C-alpha cells in the first residue's frame, strides 16, 4: 500500500457519495489518499488520534467534511499542525441550507484555522490539497497548471461551439 | 470546598463578563458551581478530560459557552452522558450576529444532543440547569417555582405602577 | 398503564411522523412517555393545564415541538418548573427553512429557558431527555453510556469496512 | 376614565420607550388606549385573562409587542376573536437583528392570524389600529385620511424646499 | 351581485391557487368578496384606482398578495385609509425562500402600515379580515369565535384519539 | 452577420437554459446580441479581453450571469466603461438559495457598479438592456413602451376574465 | 437652469446625506441632475407623475433610493420606459441590516427591471448613470474611462507607497 | 531584501489595520512576506500579473482579503496554481454583516478553490499559511506546533488563575 499524503475524513458514510469527489480529484492528480468515516461527536478520541498522529505518519493535508453543526474540521485542526481543509455539507432534512455547516466550519477562533471551501465542494477540497502539495512536489504543481489549462480549454471549446451553432442548436446537441 | 454540581466552561476569558450571569443565577439557587476557561480548539484534551470525568466527579450538568464556530458544547457532549447546556455567544468583530454560534451549537447530529439556550443567554443556562437539578433536589425545584412567582410578581408590579402613573410619569420615575 | 416520565407534545398531528422519533428513542431507553397533540394557539388552556399539572403528575421532562412561529415550547416552559425541551420543526410550504421555528423556540427571555435541539431533531430530544433522567435513575444513565458506545462502534465498524473495501465496493454494498 | 378601545401590551417595561410611539399615535387620533406590561412567559395567565376578556370589556384592537422569541402577540391572538396587531422588537444584546421577533410574530399557524407590522414599528401599529377603528367610527376614518394628506404635504414641502435651496443649503438649514 | 366587503388582489394569476384560500375562508364566514389580478408594476394606475375608490365603493378591507419584491400591499396601502392585509408569497424559482416577499411587505415606513400575515398564509388573511369585520358585524364576530372553538375541538379530538390509539395505530388510520 | 449591441456572457453552459431568456427578450426587441460562455475563474484573460474590447467593437451593454461566488459581472465591469448588467443565478446543489450569487454581484465597491437584476432574472436583464438602448434608438424605446402596454393589457385581460368567470371556472379553464 | 438628464429621487430627506453622493458623482462628470424627495407611500401620485413624464421632459435615467420595504425604485420603473437605478438603503433602527431594502429593490417581476446597486451605494448609482449616458455622449464615456484610470492610479500609488514605507510607516502617515 | 514567501494582498488600504494581523503572525513565524494593495476591480491587470507571476518569483502562498462583493481571492486563484487563502472582511457601512464577503470568497466553482478563513480572520490567514509552509520547512512546522502549545498554555494558565481567584477577583485583576 502507498502511504497516503491526504486523509479525507467525514462524519458519516452518508457523506460518501459527495465526498468521493475529493478522492476522485486526488486520484486524477496521482496523490495517494485514504478515506475515513469518523465523527467528531461519536468517536472523538479516534478523530483526535488520527489528527495527532497524521504528521508523523507522513500525511500532509487532512480534508474534513461534515454537515449541520460541522465540528469535524475544527476539531481535527485542534489536534494537528498540518493544514486542514474543511468541506461544509448541506443536510436536506434539517434546514438552513448548508449555512449551519459553513459557519461551523469557517468561523474558527484565532490560532486554529480551517481552510474552508464551498458548501458541498468536495472536488475543490481535492484541488486545494493538490495546490498545497504542489509546493513540495513540482510534478503535482505541473498537473495543477495543466488542469487549469484544461478547464480553460473546455470552456473555450464550449464558447466556440456556442458561437458556431447558436443557442438552439447548442442546447439541442447538448440535450442528446 | 463544595463539590460543584454544575461546571460552567467557556472558550475564552473574554466570555466571562457575559457568562458570569450563569454562575450568578446558580449561586442564587444555592447550587455549587465551578467556572472554567477551556477551549475546544486550544486544549481539546483538557475539554475531553473534563467532560469524560465529570459524572464520576459528581457533576450533574455542564454549561458550555462559545462564539463563532462554537464547538465547545458539542465536543463536551461527545465526551459525557450528562446533559450539556450550550450557550451561543455573539462576537462583535466577526460578523454574522451570533447566528454562527447558534447554528454551531444547536444543529447537533443524532445521538449527541446539546440543550441550547438563546444567544448570550447565560442566565437562562443557569435557570435551565436549576430546572434539571430540581428533579433530584426538591429544594431546588421549590426555588425555581419561587423564582417563577417572583418574575410574575415583578411584571405585575410594573404593570400596576404603569397603569397608575401613566407612560410619562412611569418613564420619568424609571429614568431617575 | 405506566405513569409517563416524559410528555411529548406537538402542535399538529402532521408533526407526528417526525416526532415519533422522540418516542421511539425513549422507548428504546425504557422510559415511559406519552404523546400529545395540543396547540399553543388553538387550545392554549389545555397546554397551560398540561404544563402546570405535569410535575404533580410525576412527569419529569416535557418535549414540545412546533413549526413556524413555534410558541409551544416557550408557552409550556411558562407554566412549569420542569425542564422543557423544544424541537423546532421545518414547514415545507411556508418558507424560511426552519429558521423561524428555531428562533421562536430558542430565543427565550431571561428566566424561562427552553432546552432547544436542532431543527427536526426529534431523536435528539429523546436522547436529551434520557441524559436528564439519567441523573435520577442510574439505569438510564448506564443505557445512555451504552448507547454512546454503540454509536462509536457503529461508526468504527463503517470506518473499518470502508478502509477494507475502498470507496467503490463500499458504496456498491451499501446500495444493495 | 374613558374605556380604552385599544390595549397596548408589551413583554417588558424596557420596551416602553419604543412602544409609547403606538400610544402617542392613538392619542393623536383621539382613540382611548391603555398601556400594559404583561409577559407571555412570566404572567401567561394574566395575558390569557386580558385577551379573553377584552372584547366584553369593549376593547376593539389589541397591540402586542415583544422581542426575541416574541410569543406575546400569538398567545394573545389565541385567546380572543379581536384583531391583534403584533410589533416585533429588536433586542440589541441578543443578536439576529430583529429577525427572530419578526418570524416569531408573523409566521402564525392557520386560523390564528397576527396582523404584523415592521420591526420596531410602534407608530405603524397605532396607525393600523386607527385604520381598523375607522371602519366603525367615520370620525377616525376622516382623521386617517387627514393624516395621510398631512404626510403627503410634509413630503411635498420638503421636496419643494429641496428644489429651491439645493442639497447643500437644504442640509445646512436642516442641520441647524 | 352582492357588494364585496373584502377585495383580494394579487400580482399574478399564478398566485390564484394559493390565494383562493383567502376567498374560501371568507366564503365560509359568509363575507362577500371579490378576487382581482392587478400588478403594482404592470398596471399601477389600476391598483391606485382600485385602492383609492375602495372605501367609497363599500369595501372594508383589502387583502393584497405578491411575491419577490412584493410591492402590491404597500402600494395599495398608500392609496387608501382602509386596513390593508399583506400576504407575502414564496416564489420557487427565484430563491430567498419567501424572505424577500416578507420583508417587502412588512417593513413599511411610518404612517403607511400593512397588516402582514405569514408567508403564503392566504387563509390567515381571510381570518384576519373576519376578525376586523367582526368589529362592525356581531354575526361575523360570533362566527370567528365559533371557528376558534371548532379549531380547539378538532385538536382536542385528535389528541383524544392519539391517546386512545397510540402512535402506530393513529398514523395507520390517518394514512388510510 | 449583424454586429451585436449586447453581449450575454455566462460562467457555464449549464446556465444557458435560464440565460437564453435574455437573448429571447432581446430578439423580441430586434436587438442584435451574442451569447458567450466565459468563466471569470477559468478563462479570466478572455473575459478581460472581451470586456476591454467591447466598446470599440460597437457593443453597448454587457449582460453577465453567474452563480455561487458570482464574480463574472464585477470582473467584466472592471474592464470596461460600458454599463454591465449582472444576473445572479441560483445553484441547486450548493445551498444558500441564490443569496451568495446576489451578494457577489450587487455589493460592488465604489467606482465599479454592476446593474444587478433579481436572482435568475434573465428576462429582466434583457428588458433593462432594452431600456438603456432605448436612449440611443427611439425605435427601441417605442418597443419598450409597447411591451409595457402589452404587460398591462395581459394583466387586465386576466383580471377581466377572472371577474367574469369566478375563481373556480378561471382555474379550471387555465388548467386545461 | 439646465435640463436635468438624471433625476435622483429618495423616499425621505433623512436619506439625503447618503444620496448626495450620487449627485456629487454626477456633478463631477458634468451631468445635469436634480434631487427630489418623493415617497412611494406618501405621495404615490407625484412619483407616478414624475416617472411618467420624465422621458418627455428630457430625463434619461432615474435613480431611486429607499430603505426598509423599498418600493420607490420599482414603482418608478412601473411608470416609465427609462432605465431606473435602485439604491437600497440601510435603516439603523429597524433591523435586517439592509437586506430588506435590497430584496425589495432587486427582486422585480419579469418585464419591470430595476438596475440595482449595492446597499447604500449612492456613488455607484452615479457612476452607473454615467456609464449609461456615455452611450449617448462620448464626452461622458471618456470621463468614465478617465475616472477608471484615476481609480487605478490611486490604488497603484497607495500600493507603491505601502511597498516603500512598509505597514507601520504607511499607517502612521495615513493616521496623521 | 528577502524574497517573500507569502504575498498579502487586499482591495483597499482601509483594510490594512485588520490585515496587518496576517503580516504580524507571519513575522512571528519568521516567514518573509509582502503586503500589497491591489483591487480586483480597479487594477485587475495588476492582480492578474501579480498572481500569474507569483510562483516563478518564489512566492508559495497568496493571502487575499476583500469586503462586500469580495472577488479578490477568487480572481487571484484564477491566475495561479498556488494555494490562495481568502479573508472575507466586514464592511460596517454596507450592511449584510460580512455574509456578502464570506459567500463571495468561499463559494468558488469547481476547479478554482479558495482556502477561506473566517470573517476578518487576518491572523488565521497567517497561521494557515504557516501550516502550509510547514510542509516545506520543518522549522516552520516546529514553530506552528510550538505556537499551538503556547495557545494551550495560555488558556490553561487563565483557567488555573480563574479557579484560584474566582470570577470576581479574576475580572477585577483583568480590568486593571
> Which of F151, F155, F167 shows the shortest C-beta gap to E38?
F155
The whole-angstrom separation of Cα C66 and Cα C72 is 6
Q: Residue D122 is inside which H or E element, if any?
A: helix D122-133
Q: Which of C111, C145, C151 to mutate to test the interface with B (most CBs of B within 10 A)?
A: C111
> Which residue of chain A is at minimal alpha-carbon distance from F94?
A119
The whole-angstrom separation of Cα B112 and Cα C123 is 10
Instruction: Tell me the residue ranges of DSSP E strands in C107-162.
Output: 115-116
Q: Residue F8's pLDDT band (boundaries 50, 70, 90)? A: very high
The whole-angstrom separation of Cα G52 and Cα G56 is 8
H155's CB contacts (< 8 A; 6+ apart) are: B12, B37, B38, B39, B42, B43
> What strands lie across the sheet with F61-67, from one edge to the other?
F33-37, F6-10, F61-67, F84-89, F115-116, G115-116, G84-89, G61-67, G6-10, G33-37
Q: How far is the alpha carbon of H83 from chain F, nearest alpha carbon, in Å?
A: 14
Task: Residue G107: name the closest of G61, G52, G70 by CA.
Answer: G70
pLDDT tens-digit map of F151-170: 999 999 999 999 999 999 99
Q: Residue A92's pLDDT band (boundaries 50, 70, 90)? A: confident
CB B145 within 8 A of CB B43: no
Predicted local distance difference test score (pLDDT) of residue C1: 57
Predicted local distance difference test score (pLDDT) of residue A58: 97
Predicted local distance difference test score (pLDDT) of residue H1: 57
Backbone angles phi, psi at E128, to 5 degrees: -65, -40
Q: Residue E92's pLDDT band (boundaries 50, 70, 90)? A: confident
The whole-angstrom separation of Cα H18 and Cα H14 is 9
The whole-angstrom separation of Cα C124 and Cα C115 is 11
pLDDT above 80: residue F1? no
- Cα D86 off chain centre by: 7
Ramachandran class of H157: left when φ > 0, alpha when ψ lies in -120 to 50, beta otherwise: alpha
Predicted local distance difference test score (pLDDT) of residue H2: 77
Average pLDDT, whole number, for chain H?
96
Q: Work out the average pLDDT over H53-70.
A: 97
- Cα D2 off chain centre by: 20
Q: Residue C176's pLDDT band (boundaries 50, 70, 90)? A: confident
pLDDT tens-digit map of H117-141: 999 999 999 999 999 999 999 999 9
How many other C-beta atoms lie within 10 A of the C-beta of residue A147? 17
pLDDT above 70: residue H43? yes
CB D60 within 8 A of CB C63: no
Q: Which ranges of chain B would DSSP assign to H, the alpha helix?
A: 16-29, 44-54, 72-78, 99-106, 122-133, 138-175
Ordered DSSP codes for chain A: -PPPSEEEEES-GGGHHHHHHHHHHHHHHT--EEEEE--TTTSHHHHHHHHHHHTTTT--EEEEEEESS--HHHHHHHT-SS-EEEEEE--GGG-GGGHHHHHHHH-PPTT---EE--TT-HHHHHHHHHHHHTTT-HHHHHHHHHHHHHHHHHHHHHHHHHHHHHHHHHHHHHH-
Please report the number of interchain residue pairs, chain E to chain G, with beta-carbon separation below 8 angstroms.
Answer: 108
Per the DSSP assignment, residues forming a β-bridge with B61 are B6
Task: Residue B117: name the closest of B84, B91, B71 by CA.
Answer: B84
The reply to whether residue E136 touches residue D135, judged by beta carbons under 8 angstroms, is: yes
Grid coordinates representing E111? Answer: 404612517
The reply to whether residue G151 touches residue F116, judged by beta carbons under 8 angstroms, is: no
The whole-angstrom separation of Cα G10 and Cα D155 is 11
Residues of E in contact with F167 (CB under 8 A): 16, 20, 23, 35
> Which residue of chain A is at minimal alpha-carbon distance from F20?
A167
Predicted local distance difference test score (pLDDT) of residue D1: 57
DSSP 3-state of E44: helix
Backbone angles phi, psi at A104, to 5 degrees: -70, -25
Q: Residue C92's pLDDT band (boundaries 50, 70, 90)? A: confident
β-pairing, G115-116 vs G84-89, is parallel
CA dihedral A90, A96, A97, A98 (to 10 degrees): -40
Predicted local distance difference test score (pLDDT) of residue D92: 78
pLDDT tens-digit map of D82-112: 999 999 999 877 889 899 999 999 999 999 9
Q: Residue F176's pLDDT band (boundaries 50, 70, 90)? A: confident
The whole-angstrom separation of Cα D134 and Cα D142 is 8
H107's CB contacts (< 8 A; 6+ apart) are: A118, A119, F68, F69, F94, F96, F100, F104
Task: Residue A7: name the closest of A73, A70, A71 by CA.
Answer: A73
Interface check for A37 against chain C (CB to CB < 8 A): the answer is yes
Interface check for E72 against chain F (CB to CB < 8 A): the answer is no
> Where is pLDDT greater, at D100 or C175?
D100
pLDDT above 90: residue B92? no
> Where is pLDDT greater, at D49 or H94?
D49
CA distances from C48 to C8, C39, C66, D48, D75 (A): 14, 10, 16, 10, 11
Question: In a structure prediction context, what are the per-residue pLDDT tens digits for chain G, which is 176 residues long?
Answer: 579 999 999 999 999 999 999 999 999 999 999 999 999 999 999 999 999 999 999 999 999 999 999 999 999 999 999 999 999 999 877 889 899 999 999 999 999 999 999 999 999 999 999 999 999 999 999 999 999 999 999 999 999 999 999 999 999 999 87
pTM above 0.80, yes or no: yes
CB G47 within 8 A of CB G9: yes
The reply to whether residue B124 touches residue C108, judged by beta carbons under 8 angstroms, is: yes
The reply to whether residue A108 touches residue H118, judged by beta carbons under 8 angstroms, is: yes
The whole-angstrom separation of Cα C164 and Cα G136 is 70
Predicted local distance difference test score (pLDDT) of residue C123: 98
Average pLDDT, whole number, for chain A?
96
Predicted local distance difference test score (pLDDT) of residue A1: 57
Backbone angles phi, psi at C73, to 5 degrees: -65, -45
The whole-angstrom separation of Cα B5 and Cα A173 is 70
Residues of E in contact with D151 (CB under 8 A): 111-112
> Which of B83, B119, B147 shows the shortest C-beta gap to C128?
B83
pLDDT above 90: residue E119? yes
Residue with cell 412584493: E70
DSSP 3-state of G66: strand
| Percent of residues, chain D, with pLDDT higher than 90 | 93
> What strands lie across the sheet with E33-37, from one edge to the other?
D33-37, D6-10, D61-67, D84-89, D115-116, E115-116, E84-89, E61-67, E6-10, E33-37
Q: Which ranges of E15-98 would DSSP assign to H, the alpha helix?
A: 16-28, 44-54, 72-78
Per the DSSP assignment, residues forming a β-bridge with A92 are none
The reply to whether residue F135 touches residue G136, judged by beta carbons under 8 angstroms, is: yes
CA angle H106, H110, H116 (to 5 degrees): 20
| Percent of residues, chain C, with pLDDT higher than 90 | 93
The reply to whether residue C109 touches residue D39, judged by beta carbons under 8 angstroms, is: yes
Task: Identify the DSSP state of G31.
Answer: -
pLDDT tens-digit map of D121-148: 999 999 999 999 999 999 999 999 999 9
Residue with cell 467584466: F76
Average pLDDT, whole number, for chain F?
96
The whole-angstrom separation of Cα D125 and Cα E110 is 9
Interface check for C124 against chain B (CB to CB < 8 A): the answer is yes
Ordered DSSP codes for C64-102: EEEESS--HHHHHHHT-SS-EEEEEE--GGG-GGGHHHH
Residues of H in contact with A107 (CB under 8 A): 118-119
CA dihedral F165, F155, E99, G117 (to 10 degrees): 180
Average pLDDT, whole number, for chain B?
96
Predicted local distance difference test score (pLDDT) of residue A80: 98
> Which of C41, C48, C103 shows the shortest C-beta gap to D69?
C103
CB A70 within 8 A of CB A11: yes
Q: How far is the alpha carbon of E132 from chain G, nearest alpha carbon, in Å?
A: 23
Interface of B with H in 144-163 (CB under 8 A): none
In this complex, whether A and B touch, counting 3 or more CB pairs under 8 angstroms, is yes
> Which of G48, G69, G114 shows the shortest C-beta gap to E108?
G69
The whole-angstrom separation of Cα B149 and Cα B132 is 18
CB D42 within 8 A of CB C112: yes
Predicted local distance difference test score (pLDDT) of residue G40: 94
Predicted local distance difference test score (pLDDT) of residue F94: 81
* Interhelix angle A138-175/A122-133, nearest 10 degrees: 150
The whole-angstrom separation of Cα G77 and Cα G7 is 13
Predicted local distance difference test score (pLDDT) of residue C164: 95
Task: Residue A44: name the closest of B67, C162, B74 by CA.
Answer: B74
Predicted local distance difference test score (pLDDT) of residue B1: 57
Amino acid at each position: 500500500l502507498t502511504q497516503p499524503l491526504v486523509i479525507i475524513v467525514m462524519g458519516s458514510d452518508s457523506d460518501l457519495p459527495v465526498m468521493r469527489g475529493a478522492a476522485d480529484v486526488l486520484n486524477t492528480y496521482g496523490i495517494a489518499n485514504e478515506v475515513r468515516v469518523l465523527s467528531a461527536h461519536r468517536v472523538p478520541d479516534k478523530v483526535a488520534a488520527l489528527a495527532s498522529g497524521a504528521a508523523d505518519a507522513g500525511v500532509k493535508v487532512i480534508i474534513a467534511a461534515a454537515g449541520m453543526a460541522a465540528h469535524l474540521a475544527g476539531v481535527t485542526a485542534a489536534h494537528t499542525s498540518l493544514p486542514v481543509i474543511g468541506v461544509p455539507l448541506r443536510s436536506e432534512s434539517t434546514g438552513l441550507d448548508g449555512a449551519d455547516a459553513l459557519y461551523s466550519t469557517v468561523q474558527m477562533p484565532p490560532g486554529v484555522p480551517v481552510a474552508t471551501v464551498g458548501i458541498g465542494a468536495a472536488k475543490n477540497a481535492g484541488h486545494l490539497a493538490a495546490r498545497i502539495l504542489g509546493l513540495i512536489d513540482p510534478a503535482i504543481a505541473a498537473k495543477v497548471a495543466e488542469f487549469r489549462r484544461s478547464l480553460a480549454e473546455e470552456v473555450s471549446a464550449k464558447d466556440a461551439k456556442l458561437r458556431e451553432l447558436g443557442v438552439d442548436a447548442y442546447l439541442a446537441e447538448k440535450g442528446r
